[in-house]
Homo-oligomer: A and B are copies of this chain.
């Protein structure tokens, strides 16, 4: 249950305050010229402490590739990697041993396993997503060779919402500000809102929009393996994700068929295309060659900078004294995770599709 993907398959391990986190990428085809610096760059995008609107926690998050790459190329054998946990103030968490933080996994882990590693959330820590970045970064490099680009951006924070459609933005615009929103005006509003929320000791949620360009027609499978089902599972496996939709999604659910259908036509070259892309690039579970776009909703993180009344393991009243190194808004750091998960889904589907015809 700690593996993701069918052919291109990532298995991760590690807790927030153990010796290290890491993983194994299985199914990467041989022959890819890999850029390890670029993998590290993606990790740096997720790392805490990048700006004043995310947690000030310092984690170096240096990835060490242990296998599967030889003389700069993938060999077809599994890519093992570790990221050491360097900022282990485990003692900080002693007071958490028996206390359940609201809307965290403390209670549910204990219910499931009968015990839990309480240090920094243990396995439930979003730190685990660093391993997904590694898996996604390798996939993205392979996709690039096939002309496929995946990017994501913050499209909503609290009530501040990007109204312009995804196709007005480019990948290169995402990192131009701290909130990773390519609409500069909205970005300013979002950053201001996050600062205000932070100073009130509160947190705020929002949405990330993901975009896949250059995806060929034919990816995904008819029934349970629909491309949108794979994307949804990928996104809903990210910490704090509460919703997923693609194309016009929930907004289109109230519409008429005559408004939502993407009518066919031919382009200048005579190739078949559609007049609109309300469907979001997937029909019947299979990509149609148009841009794929989707949204992921993230709840505000539950760690508040206030004293909170809660209970301990025995159900006795307890007070949670906040320590101050949490994200007031996860969105900026969620962007590279959404990209990573999407890249893995698309690359896996591309490899699966090699067996679609005799």
- Interface mask (A74-112 → B, CB under 8 Å = 1, otherwise 0): 111111101000000000000000001011110111011
Q: Does A42 contact B (CB under 8 A)?
A: no
Stretch at the interface among A47-55, A164-172, A175-183, A293-301: A293-301
User: Nearest B residue to A18 by beta-carbon distance?
Assistant: B67
8 Å CB interface, A1-35 against B: 1-4, 7, 9, 11-15, 18-24, 26-27, 29-32
8 Å CB interface, A95-150 against B: 100, 102-105, 107-109, 111-117, 122-124, 128, 142, 145
Copies assembled = 4
Residues of B within 8 Å of A75, CB to CB, are: 15, 113, 115-117, 122-123
Q: Does A156 contact B (CB under 8 A)?
A: yes
Given contacts A223-B2, A237-B223, A264-B102, contact A31 B76 (CB under 8 A): no
Q: From residue A281, how far is it (CB to closest CB) to chain B in Å?
A: 10
Q: Interface extent on A, as a size class?
A: 35 or more
Residues of B within 8 Å of A124, CB to CB, are: 222, 284-285
**Given B205, B266, B302, which contacts A311 in the complex, CB threshold below 8 Å?**
B266
A103 to B253: give the CA distance in the assembly, Å.
15
Question: Does B7 lie within 8 Å of A24, measured CB to CB?
Answer: no
Residues of B within 8 Å of A74, CB to CB, are: 358
Q: Does A232 contact B (CB under 8 A)?
A: yes
Q: From residue A331, how far is it (CB to closest CB) to chain B in Å?
A: 9
8 Å CB interface, A222-253 against B: 222-226, 228-237, 239, 241-250, 252-253
**Given B107, B244, B255, B299, which contacts A244 in the complex, CB threshold below 8 Å?**
B244
Question: Does B66 lie within 8 Å of A205, measured CB to CB?
Answer: no
Question: Does B30 lie within 8 Å of A255, measured CB to CB?
Answer: no
Question: Does B233 lie within 8 Å of A229, measured CB to CB?
Answer: yes
Q: Does A202 contact B (CB under 8 A)?
A: yes
Given contacts A109-B284, A253-B242, contact A67 B115 (CB under 8 A): no
Question: Does B80 lie within 8 Å of A20, measured CB to CB?
Answer: yes
A158 to B258: give the CA distance in the assembly, Å.
13
Q: Does A64 contact B (CB under 8 A)?
A: yes
Q: From residue A146, how far is it (CB to closest CB) to chain B in Å?
A: 9
Residues of B within 8 Å of A285, CB to CB, are: 105, 108, 124, 237
Given contacts A13-B67, A67-B20, A253-B242, contact A284 B78 (CB under 8 A): no
Question: Does A222 lie within 8 Å of B77, measured CB to CB?
Answer: yes
Question: Does A24 lie within 8 Å of B24, measured CB to CB?
Answer: yes
Beyond A14-B80, A232-B232: 4 further Cβ-contacts under 8 Å?
A: A100-B264, A105-B222, A112-B219, A203-B256
